[in-house]
Structure 1
Amino acid sequence: MSKAFISQVIQDSVGCTGVAANRAAGDLITAIIKEMKKSGGFTLPSFGTFSVRKTKARKAVNPRTGEPVKVKAGRTVRFKASPNLKKAV
């Protein structure tokens, strides 16, 4: 799914211009990102839950050279599908 796809669905559903639908899609994505930064997660009922998780610093291996590489601690996004989504797919 891309921003263009979301924009097209909004445009078809609401009957607005492509520019307005693109702006709405961008605003939706921005609002989701802000909510995830603020609360650490975001839930779309009947779809699933996005959550932000912290990752620990670790050692990894470069697959090309085989040399060890240090990976810094950071944050990543996880998704858990709702039972309704699992049943539909």
Structure 2
Amino acid sequence: MSKAFIARVIQQSTEVTGAAANRATNDLIDAIVKEMKRTGKFTLPSFGTFTVRKTKARKALNPRTGESIKVKAGKTVRFKASPVLKKSV
């Protein structure tokens, strides 16, 4: 799925222009990101939950050279599908 796909679905279902659908898509994605930054999660009922998780600093291996490298601590996003989504797929 891409932003263009979402914009096309919005355009077809609401009968707005392509530019308006693109703005709506960007606004939707921005709102989801803001909510995840603010609360650490975002839930779409009947679809699933996106959760922000912290990752610890760790050592890893460079696959080309086999050299040990340090990976900094950071954040990642996890998704857990709802039972409704799992059942429908």
2:79 aligns to what?
79
1:29 aligns to what?
29
2:4 aligns to what?
4
1:17 aligns to what?
17
Amino acid at match of 1:7: A
Note the residue ranges of structure 2 that are not aligned, 5 or more in a row. Answer: none
Give the share of equivalent positions with the same residue, in percent: 76
Deviation of the 1:57 alpha carbon: 0.2
Deviation of the 1:35 alpha carbon: 0.3
2:57 aligns to what?
57
Q: Secondary structure at the match of 1:52?
A: strand
Note the residue ranges of structure 1 that are not aligned, 5 or more in a row. Answer: none
Per the normalisation by structure 2, the TM-score is 0.99
CA distance in 2, matches of 1:85, 1:68: 40
Per the normalisation by structure 1, the TM-score is 0.99
